[in-house]
């Protein structure tokens, strides 16, 4: 594993004496978590659990969503619970003694479902090669079912907390896995510090509802395992409505994490998925800004962050605030976040050293 050595390590240790912003990492597997820890990360600011649902597990989610048979659904959720408990056990162990913010599933739904277009092509191929009529009919039924979930703008559709509100069994499964992994580690003498984060909240009712689900689940695991589990529950602030009503939302949150990727997308109305495309980057560069607002935080978006922090503290004076969008590892943005009053930034593991340095510079400039 790469490590910080020699002069760089010494310089970063000096920097740490000055900075007031914490630096955490975004990681979703134990290897990346351990790597970020070796680079000086003070915790995991964002564990994107949807990254744990690739391969076979994607199929399990598809089965869960498309199948209305309760027994099939229950089996799918049990399979996921087993897998997730193992995932979280590894993450918390790698970060023993440091906070790990686990974000509940936040995929656009289409990422879990097979592509109707690909299924259509497959059906045509099956028909052309004289496949069994029953098999073709089954594929067609699957395609039509998936089609009925299609959204014009999946990034603005059934994502984040919306998925958990429609299918509460999913957050129950994830929170149960978090609490079970924590209980197991505590019994083994470790000091796990998980936190639960609810994504894409726009109104306080969403957080209130899912917080209730999470608290009930944690209490059940505490009773089953005979241990006390203190697990803070917070939310992403990544929609403008959440930022401007942060006082209300904070009444139900132990922490906020600003998702500046989505916040930039929804504030400007530019698709973050088209930043590498033709129109968005050219238009931005030629007509709007001398920088890419998806890489360096825009002052307008930062105003929403500052407003969210200020209002958030009105709703909950003990609120912890961080930034976990890509901007959390960008030095220019870190200077701006220092002014916004957040407590920490969280970035990809390899950006942790530069973030430590930038945070020290920002603190010295603000003296």
Q: Which residue lies nearer to ligand PEP by CB, 180 or 346? A: 346
340 is catalytic: no
Binding mask 253-272 for Mg ion (x = CB under 5 A): ------x--x----------
Interaction of residue 267 with ligand PEP, rule CB under 6 A: no
Share in percent of the chain as helix, strand, coil (round to 5):
60, 10, 30
50 is annotated as contributing to ligand binding: no
Q: Which residue lies nearer to ligand PEP by CB, 319 or 345? A: 345
Rounded Cα distance between 77 and 318, Å, is 35
Q: Compute the half-sphere exposure of residue 71: CA atoms within 13 Å on the CB side of its CA.
A: 0
Q: Going along the chain, which residue ranges are E strands?
A: 22-26, 44-48, 99-103, 193-198, 233-237, 255-258, 320-323, 344-347
356 is annotated as contributing to ligand binding: no
DSSP assignment letter at 287: I
Catalytic residue among 47, 324, 340, 347: 324
Structure tokens, 34:
């351990």
**Locus of tokens 């930043």:** 275
CB of residue 162 to Mg ion, shortest distance in Å: 13
Interaction of residue 238 with ligand PEP, rule CB under 6 A: yes
Partner whose footprint covers residue 206, from Mg ion, ligand PEP, none (CB < 5 to 8 Å by kind): none
- The footprint of Mg ion on residues 216-255 (CB under 5 A) is 238
Interaction of residue 162 with ligand PEP, rule CB under 6 A: no
Which of 40, 116, 192, 259 contacts ligand PEP by CB under 6 A?
Answer: 259
Which of 262, 267, 329, 359 contacts ligand PEP by CB under 6 A?
Answer: 262
Q: Are 25 and 347 spatial neighbours (Cβ–Cβ below 8 Å)?
A: yes
Partner whose footprint covers residue 329, from Mg ion, ligand PEP, none (CB < 5 to 8 Å by kind): none
Q: Are 211 and 252 spatial neighbours (Cβ–Cβ below 8 Å)?
A: yes
Interaction of residue 195 with ligand PEP, rule CB under 6 A: no
Binding mask 94-123 for ligand PEP (x = CB under 6 A): ------------x-----------------
CB atoms within 10 A of CB 26: 26
Q: Which residue lies nearer to Mg ion by CB, 156 or 169? A: 156
Q: Are 194 and 100 spatial neighbours (Cβ–Cβ below 8 Å)?
A: yes
Residues taking part in catalysis: 324
């Amino acid at each position: 594993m790469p490590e910080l050595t020699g002069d760089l390590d010494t310089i970063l240790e000096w920097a740490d004496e000055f900075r007031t912003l914490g630096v955490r990492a975004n990681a979703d597997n134990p290897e990346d978590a351990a790597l970020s820890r070796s680079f000086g990360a003070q915790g995991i600011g964002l564990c994107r659990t949807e990254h744990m649902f690739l391969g076979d597990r994607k199929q399990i989610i598809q089965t869960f969503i498309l199948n209305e048979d309760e027994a099939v659904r229950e089996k799918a959720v049990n399979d996921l619970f087993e897998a997730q408990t193992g995932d979280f056990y590894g993450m918390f162990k790698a970060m023993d003694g440091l906070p790990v913010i686990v974000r509940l599933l936040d995929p656009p739904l289409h990422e879990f479902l097979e592509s109707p277009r690909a299924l259509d092509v497959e059906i045509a191929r099956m028909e052309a090669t004289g496949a069994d009529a029953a098999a073709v009919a089954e594929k067609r039924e699957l395609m039509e079912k998936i089609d009925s979930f299609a959204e014009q703008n999946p990034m603005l559709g059934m994502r984040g907390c919306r998925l958990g509100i429609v299918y509460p069994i999913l957050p129950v499964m994830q929170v149960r896995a978090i609490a079970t992994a924590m209980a197991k580690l505590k019994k083994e003498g470790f000091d796990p510090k998980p936190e639960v984060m609810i994504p894409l909240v726009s109104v306080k009712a969403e957080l209130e509802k899912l917080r209730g689900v999470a608290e009930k689940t944690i209490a059940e695991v505490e009773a089953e395992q005979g241990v006390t589990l203190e697990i803070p529950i917070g939310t992403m602030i990544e929609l403008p409505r959440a930022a401007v009503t942060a006082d209300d939302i904070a009444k139900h949150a132990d922490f906020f994490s600003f998702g500046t990727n989505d916040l930039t997308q929804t504030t400007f109305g530019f698709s973050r998925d088209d930043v590498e495309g033709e129109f968005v980057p050219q238009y931005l560069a030629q007509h709007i800004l001398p920088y890419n607002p998806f890489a360096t935080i825009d002052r307008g978006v930062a105003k929403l962050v500052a407003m969210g922090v200020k209002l958030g503290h009105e709703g909950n004076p003990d609120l912890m605030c961080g930034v976990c969008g890509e901007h959390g590892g960008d030095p220019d943005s870190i200077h701006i976040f220092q002014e916004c009053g957040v407590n920490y930034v969280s970035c990809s593991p390899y950006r942790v050293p530069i973030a430590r340095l930038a945070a020290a510079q920002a603190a010295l400039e603000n003296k």
